[in-house]
Amino acid sequence: MAIALSSADRRPLVDSHGRAIRYLRVSVTDRCDLRCRYCMAEQMTFLPRRALLQLEEIAIIAERFIARGVTKLRLSGGEPLVRRDVGQLIDRLGRHVGDGLEELTLTTNGTRLAEHAERLFAAGVRRVNVSMDSVDPDTFRFITRHGDVAQVIGGIRAARDAGLRVKVNAVALAGLNEDQIPSLLAWCANEGVDLSLIETMPLGAIDEDRVDRFVPLGRVFENLSTRFPLIRDTHRTGGPARYWRVNGTDTRLGLISPLTANFCDGCNRVRLTTDGKLYSCLGHDDQVDLKAALRSGGVEAVDDAIDAALLAKPRRHDFRIGAGAAPAVERHMSVTGG
């Protein structure tokens, strides 16, 4: 069911608070080949495959967003590269780069990046984010429950060699990797890749108490600034990170602080789940079902549902960390997409 982009009825993507939506994140699968402790329970129940959007449907919905003004599209998961034939989706969406779409990017855990890097570049991808919370093999294995950091490092180097700009994403975790963040930044600077640090977010029930692992990034930055020559950088990617540069290198350090430095006023993004739900805010449960809309009424129904989602988009999220506090939402990050 291929549907061409249309210039007709390009209703602007603006929410009720006047924020223009230019960024769509798409989870192509909720499955992952790792089980990071802050993200998933060890024994996860994934969506049945029949509940997922078909790749063709993902493409149609993404193309409606592009037709209506989205300029940046990120594919995520779960782990997007574990979905069969995902390369075909990437090829199709990549054809819009330079023709309405300014950037197509990918967030991955890196385990399969080496085998896909060249195809990603050929499809028009120029930048990828790789989740890697430590370069220490034992720490990485503990956080991911069974991962091999050498495999991820190999993927990062393959991506870099293929011409992709790489940014490492790391969640700061007290008692696990906080003391290793300086060595991670040093590794990134040596490899010529960027690093973004993220505060843990209360999404979904996990096997540990997030309060015990929460680290405010202000504390992390103070530590790093005593060890590295960090200078403020005006670089922006359309996301919530604030950036510094390690002086004398090409490596940027980004800080994403959803709990200690709210960034909602400039929010320009919405998220599509692998089963077709469109969430206008990561920290709220309000959603519309674009899969049902597409299957029952085609792209016109999809446009109407998108409008409804933007009308309901809240001013800010409701993330909070506290002893005994329930997660902000019940769904895991892997369902909504990173």
Between CA 267 and CA 72 the distance in angstroms is 13
User: Is 39 annotated for ligand binding?
Assistant: yes
How far is the first Cα of the chain from the last one, in angstroms, to the nearest whole number? 28
Q: Is residue 188 a known part of a binding site? A: no
Q: Is 264 annotated as a binding residue?
A: yes
Q: How far apart are CA 190 and CA 251, in angstroms?
A: 9
Instruction: Write b or e for each residue in 290-319: b if 16 or more Cβ atoms lie within 10 A of its Cβ, otherwise e.
Output: bbebbbeeebeebbebbeebbeebbeebeb
The 252-256 sheet, strands edge to edge:
230-233, 242-246, 252-256, 194-199, 165-172, 127-131, 103-108, 72-76, 23-27, 269-272, 277-279, 287-289
- The reply to whether 167 sits in an annotated binding site is yes
- The answer to whether 270 is a known ligand-binding residue is yes
Q: Does residue 64 have a known ligand-binding role?
A: no
Report whether 336 contacts 282 (CB < 8 A).
Answer: yes
Question: Would you say 40 is a known binding-site residue?
Answer: no
Q: Are 89 and 62 in contact (CB under 8 A)?
A: no
243 is in an annotated binding site: no
Q: Is 157 one of the annotated binding-site residues?
A: no
- 299 marked ligand binding residue: no
Q: Which residues are annotated as a binding site for [4Fe-4S] cluster?
A: 32, 36, 39, 264, 267, 281
Q: Which residues are annotated as a binding site?
A: 25, 32, 36, 38-39, 74, 78, 107, 131, 167, 201, 264, 267, 269-271, 281
Q: Which residues are annotated as a binding site for S-adenosyl-L-methionine?
A: 38, 78, 131, 201
Q: Which residues are annotated as a binding site for GTP?
A: 25, 74, 107, 167, 269-271
